Structure 1
Amino acid sequence: MTRAGINGGRRPRTTRAAAAVAAGLALTLAACSGGGGDGGDATEEQRTGAMEGYAAGDQFTASEPLELSILWTDWPEVTVKDEWQFFDLLKEQTNVTLETTHIPLSDHLEKRSLLISAGDAPDIIPLVYTGEEEQFAASGAVVPLSKYLDEMPHFQKYVEEWDLQEMVDNLRQEDGELYMLPGFQEVSVPMFTLLVRKDKFDELGIEMPDTWEDFREAFVKLKEAYPDSYPLQDGFQGNSLLNYAARGFGTQAGWGFGDGMQWDEEKGEFEYAATSEEYKEMVEYFHGLVQDGLFDPDSFTVQDQEAVERVERLISEGKAFAGSGASGTAIEWGQALDATVGPGNHEVVQIPPPAGPAGALVEPRNFWHGFMITKDAESKPYFTALLQFLDWMYYSPEARDMLRWGVEGETYTKSGDEYTLDAEHRLDTFNLNPGAPTDIQKDLGFSTFLAEATESRALKESYSTDQAVEYIDAVLSTRTPTDPLPPAPLSEADLEQASLLGTPLKDSVDTATLRFILGERPLSEWDAFVAELESKGLQQYVDLYNGARERFAESNG
């Protein structure tokens, strides 16, 4: 397991993939403190607007009007509007007005880092994935939130109810504190996986494979029946496919490569994933698919939105039969097939990541994106109210329903665990009520990235297709999450050194992996590739993490 999660930690860089992110289930471990941290550190001077006796189950409402600043990432397909009902409803319910600072999704990591480093960032920094907080924690730019968990009762409630304490504790930095609090998922399954045109498999009498080896045999039969096809595709430069496939090979790759550290159980230490036998075996497998014309080599070279649309076109034209995607991708493929072969004449299914030589394994149980608070906010008179507001917005079930669906009785109705979108409202992201006059996301501001962070299983399934719900059930019943990595938080000096060493190492890995799979570099040069990494400081890099792990274990023993 990596400390970074999918996407090199995070999220795809295309507009449709961004929609799929909002549709999906997500990744990488994190941590927090469950029982309340040191507690009680907020002073009376920091309680402007705070609620007295605030507890789990309470609606947070500031005792006086507050204006809180937040960093808002703009999705390309969703233009933020000041008149969104979301902002008005939030103010009505909480007495809080959000002041937004906008950055584009395309380079939001860089823009966010610049704002924080310059001291110009707003109080609330959302859309933070586990591991992204390390540099800001090490430099003291963000608040050690574990000191204030007594002000966050909803957070504590769900850490306990959803059995998240061990995962939460893995988020601690070198000083033992938590500098980001993640979004919680009651159930966690891989968001991106293999999507398959089941109707084509059925046409040839191919039983749905469960392992990568069985898929190879299936792809051979599909290629024989459709010689001008490449049965397997990836619309994300191979990063999605290698991310979920790697687990079955006992390693990590693609979006899930992260810092490259994987755990060697026998030696009791970290090793670099790309130099392992497991990684080599994975590369050999996909090289074989490319070599035999079963896997489209352009999957690794066509980029961004063009790649996503290209795969969709090939699927709809019957020139491809399997590829990477999330539940939202399956919807898009279905819509494209409706236009080419007609509704009812196709079936796209989302299957659990195929098993590999290491077993039927998937990524560790994961958190989703959460938030940090900039250090300056700690001295603000409304700091306690800020903590209570974020506790309510991120972890209160009532807030989560509102963020996803809007106003009960107006935009949606709820009966038990069943949510129903009002007939006058639609949600294009999930193809719900197409043709209705008002989109609750684009027109009203609900179902934005804030809605993704924390979800019960019922809330997650409320916008999912029946097939996506079946996928969740299948993963939970047939796949085993891998164990999380031991914590190894780096010091500020270590982080700088790790960046200097890790970036060129990762660049070399990316280049070599591509060339090996495409056959541009013979696999007989594998040992030479490893030697190249060693000449670039590989051992020193690995030693940083093993040293950090040992220090953390000793001080938190």
Structure 2
Amino acid sequence: MRIRPLVASATAAVSAAAVLTGCGAAGGAGTDGPVTLELWSWTAEGQSVVDQWNNENPDIQVKLTDAGGGDESSQKLLTASRAGNAPDLALVEYTTLPSLIVADVPQEITDYVGDVQDAFTEGTWAQTTFDGAVFGVPQDVGPMAFVYRTDRFEELGVPVPTTWEEFRTAAAAVKEADPDAVITSLPPTEFGFFAGVATQAGGEWWSVDGDEWTVGIADEASLEVADYFEELATDGLIQTEPLLTPEYNAMVNAGTMLSWPSAVWAPSVIESVAPDTAGKWAMAPLPQWTPGDKAVAYQGGSALVVTKDSEHPEEAAKFATWLNASEEGNGLLLDTQSLYPASDEGQEMAESNDPPSLMPQQKDFYSVAADISSDTVPVTWGPDVNLAKSVFEDELGKAIKNGTPWRDAFVATQDAVVADMKETGFTVSNG
């Protein structure tokens, strides 16, 4: 398959101030007395982190609320913002941040956090920076990676793939050596995976120039990616069944589901469903479309934003930068919350940590993770990712069921996204 070379554009930011909201940053001078900040998050052991901050900062106290994660958390935040009572700080996923900016939920915090930009790679900082305006501080990231069963690959005599061409060869070899096994399952619900590998191949699902957007979900690179994985599924070399179901988990435990192309956070998920397989897994870089081009996209990750309802944005930003850009904060992210930090320092600190308990034998796990994370692609997410995700899952599911081309699902998703953006009032160059 011919995939055009990946181009990691340095201008991944979208024009939030002019394009998304048309409003500037909210003011927020510091106060003379103690303030209390409300924080919405969903990370494990969040209260321990807040307690440490509160003990050290009597003049800025933080009150934590577990708001749940994912779409549920974003919807709660949007509802609260519309009612004028959003928290001072909220953890949001990178994919949902543009839609929240459109809804005027976060405020620009450039003046408060600009001095920590160098703590992050360009690709990471770009997740929260839009046309030079900063709307959040990156907290954790999920650079894409390949997690696999070392024992089964060795037993079947299958080399670990370093390119997607080798991945197909490996998938065929697995099937030939053990008809009951499969290299992986990639169901239509894995929107983040398909977006990530399309980005890795050079696709840009959303981009913006001035106030004009371009939607590229059906660009040539993405359609070739669709063709590639469709061929694998048609030939029976991958499954398309849902992940983390009882059936899927049984295969993981039995050693007949051999890998998960995903991200550096995958080991903890696998261990939660197959703890007895610990010691039989390892992580490697994601297979490459172009040999030698190791740049990958993110699949997952989140940032702390300061909402427009906060009366203390400077203090809120101070907490966000402490947690995500200081040595103390990164230590808490790593050791207390078991997150993979977004900052360079946090990732360097991780290298001295023990590997995940799923793969205690892989002593270089965090070194591999840091190397993967060092070359990530700046990505622009559009203002209607939730719509794109819903349409994509429905259309790809239909294509798989009906045996129609997978690329049609990408085209249908693009058409729906373009129509939605135009109806919302955005200028879109294509469609």
Question: Residue 172 in 1 paired to residue 130 in 2?
Answer: yes
- The 2-side partners of 1:237 and 1:365 are apart by 17
The residue that corresponds to 1:48 in the other structure is: 32
Larger displacement relative to structure 2 (211-220 or 161-170) = 161-170
Question: Residue 273 in 1 paired to residue 250 in 2?
Answer: no
Mapping of residues 399-418 of structure 1, within 5 Å: 399-402=329-332, 404-405=334-335
The code of the aligned residue for 1:67 comes to T
Mapping of residues 135-214 of structure 1, within 5 Å: 135-138=99-102, 140-146=104-110, 148-149=111-112, 156=115, 158-160=116-118, 164=122, 167=125, 171-172=129-130, 177-178=133-134, 180-183=135-138, 190-214=142-166
User: Is the 2:136–2:305 Cα contact (8 Å) retained in structure 1?
Assistant: yes
Question: Please, which runs of 5 or more residues in structure 2 have no aligned partner?
Answer: 1-11, 18-23, 356-362
Question: Residue 231 in 1 paired to residue 183 in 2?
Answer: yes
Question: Residue 468 in 1 paired to residue 420 in 2?
Answer: no
Superposed CA deviations along residues 109-146 of structure 1, whole A, max 9, x for unmatched, are 11111111101222222x12446444554555543322
| Among 323, 328, 339, the residue aligned to 1:398 | 328
User: Is the 1:223–1:294 Cα contact (8 Å) retained in structure 2?
Assistant: yes
| Among 494, 518, 522, the residue aligned to 2:404 | 522
Structure 1 residues 29 and 119 mapped into 2: Cα distance closer, same or farther (>3 Å)? same
1:475 deviates by 3.0
The residue that corresponds to 2:6 in the other structure is: none
Question: Residue 114 in 1 paired to residue 79 in 2?
Answer: yes
The residue that corresponds to 2:260 in the other structure is: 323
Superposed CA deviations along residues 22-44 of structure 1, whole A, max 9, x for unmatched, are xxxxxx978999xxxx99x755x
User: Is the 1:327–1:468 Cα contact (8 Å) retained in structure 2?
Assistant: no
Question: Please, which runs of 5 or more residues in structure 1 have no aligned partner?
Answer: 1-27, 50-64, 253-259, 406-445, 490-494, 549-557
- The 2-side partners of 1:136 and 1:230 are apart by 39
Structure 1 residues 282 and 166 mapped into 2: Cα distance closer, same or farther (>3 Å)? closer
User: Is the 1:251–1:262 Cα contact (8 Å) retained in structure 2?
Assistant: no
Mapping of residues 528-543 of structure 1, within 5 Å: 530=411, 538=419, 541=422
The code of the aligned residue for 1:360 comes to D
- The 2-side partners of 1:279 and 1:538 are apart by 19
User: Is the 1:182–1:368 Cα contact (8 Å) retained in structure 2?
Assistant: no
Structure 1 residues 374 and 245 mapped into 2: Cα distance closer, same or farther (>3 Å)? closer
- The 1-side partners of 2:16 and 2:121 are apart by 12
CA RMSD of aligned residues (A): 4.6
Question: Residue 71 in 1 paired to residue 40 in 2?
Answer: yes
- The 2-side partners of 1:133 and 1:528 are apart by 25
Where 1:111 maps in the other structure, the secondary structure is helix
1:104 deviates by 2.6
1:320 deviates by 2.0
- The 2-side partners of 1:162 and 1:79 are apart by 24
Mapping of residues 296-311 of structure 1, within 5 Å: 296-298=239-241, 302=242, 306-307=244-245, 310-311=247-248
- The 2-side partners of 1:371 and 1:113 are apart by 15
The residue that corresponds to 2:348 in the other structure is: 458
Superposed CA deviations along residues 464-518 of structure 1, whole A, max 9, x for unmatched, are 51242243265368xx544555xx99xxxxx6xxx5xx876664443333343x2
Where 2:217 maps in the other structure, the secondary structure is helix
User: Is the 1:32–1:168 Cα contact (8 Å) retained in structure 2?
Assistant: no
User: Is the 2:147–2:260 Cα contact (8 Å) retained in structure 1?
Assistant: yes
The code of the aligned residue for 1:397 comes to E
Where 2:348 maps in the other structure, the secondary structure is helix
1:359 deviates by 7.0
| Among 352, 377, 384, the residue aligned to 2:310 | 377
The residue that corresponds to 2:360 in the other structure is: none
Aligned pair count?
399
Superposed CA deviations along residues 152-171 of structure 1, whole A, max 9, x for unmatched, are 5xx50x32465659955982
Superposed CA deviations along residues 325-346 of structure 1, whole A, max 9, x for unmatched, are 4445436657977747xx7xx6
User: Is the 2:136–2:306 Cα contact (8 Å) retained in structure 1?
Assistant: no
Where 1:98 maps in the other structure, the secondary structure is strand
**TM-score (normalizing by structure 2):** 0.72
Superposed CA deviations along residues 416-462 of structure 1, whole A, max 9, x for unmatched, are xxxxxxxxxxxxxxxxxxxxxxxxxxxxxx4277x956452223334
The residue that corresponds to 1:59 in the other structure is: none
- The 1-side partners of 2:285 and 2:386 are apart by 32
User: Is the 2:145–2:264 Cα contact (8 Å) retained in structure 1?
Assistant: no
- The 2-side partners of 1:526 and 1:32 are apart by 30
- The 2-side partners of 1:532 and 1:328 are apart by 27
Superposed CA deviations along residues 150-204 of structure 1, whole A, max 9, x for unmatched, are xx5xx50x3246565995598236xx643x222267xx7x534322223322233
Task: Give identity over the alignment, percent.
Answer: 18
- The 1-side partners of 2:66 and 2:306 are apart by 16
The residue that corresponds to 1:3 in the other structure is: none
User: Is the 1:334–1:348 Cα contact (8 Å) retained in structure 2?
Assistant: no
1:223 deviates by 1.0
User: Is the 2:334–2:346 Cα contact (8 Å) retained in structure 1?
Assistant: no
1:93 deviates by 0.9
Where 1:375 maps in the other structure, the secondary structure is coil
1:282 deviates by 1.6
1:319 deviates by 1.7
